[in-house]
Amino acid sequence: MHAHTHEGEDFSVAADAFCRRYILRGIPSLFSALRPLYSDPAKVELLTQLLASYESSLRETGALPPRLDGGPDDRGAAPQQQQQQNGGGDAAANGGVKGSGGGGGGASGLRPIELSEAQRRADEQERDQLAWVLHALSQHRSWLGDAEGALAASGEALERAPDVVELHSARGAILAAAGDVEGARRGRGGAGVGARGLFRAACC
């Protein structure tokens, strides 16, 4: 991330452009990517404000706030991309043949891939932007020494997306940092239980 070369408002603009890509795409490693910036207290404070603005906007409007750089609205990018990936309409679901009709799998002879209920639920959870913001906030607060706030954010993220493995792993790390070794062991133990873990186990 090149935001380490910026200061003040310029840093906030660069950090916003960087962070929202992770949130919109459901990439769990945002905090790890930001971690080198935490040696600068001023940048930590600006990241605190940025993440808080994400949380507030998602709770109030269901979307991230407008980009700080004034760029085009990208807040609907993730759902649109996901729709394309998961079918993009009848054409993709029928092997690229639109209006193939019922029976026989269409002119191509291909049948649409059917996701299990667990897979569909996991996919939906991974598109939950507030869950990813809370995930980042939980790690951010843990680094700041706010164990209570970190666990609250982690707990809500898991309530929203219980099948996302990375959220369980992060909660285990937060509990370990807070000195709860047994809780950390239990939290990390849940990391292999979600729909993704069950799907991988069934396929192996």
Q: 0.85 exceeded by the pTM?
A: no
Dist CA 62 CA 134 (whole Å): 14
DSSP structure class, residue 165: H
Two tokens, residue 82 = 């996901």
* Domains within the chain, CATH numbers bracketed: 2-69+126-199 (1.25.40)
Per-residue pLDDT of the chain (204 residues; tens, 9 = 90+): 555 567 889 999 999 999 999 999 999 999 999 999 999 999 999 999 999 999 999 999 999 999 999 988 887 644 433 443 344 443 333 333 334 444 444 445 666 656 677 667 767 778 899 999 999 999 999 999 999 999 999 999 999 999 999 999 999 999 988 887 676 666 555 544 444 443 333 333
User: 137 exposed, middle or buried (CB, 10 Å; 0-12, 13-18, 19+)?
Assistant: buried
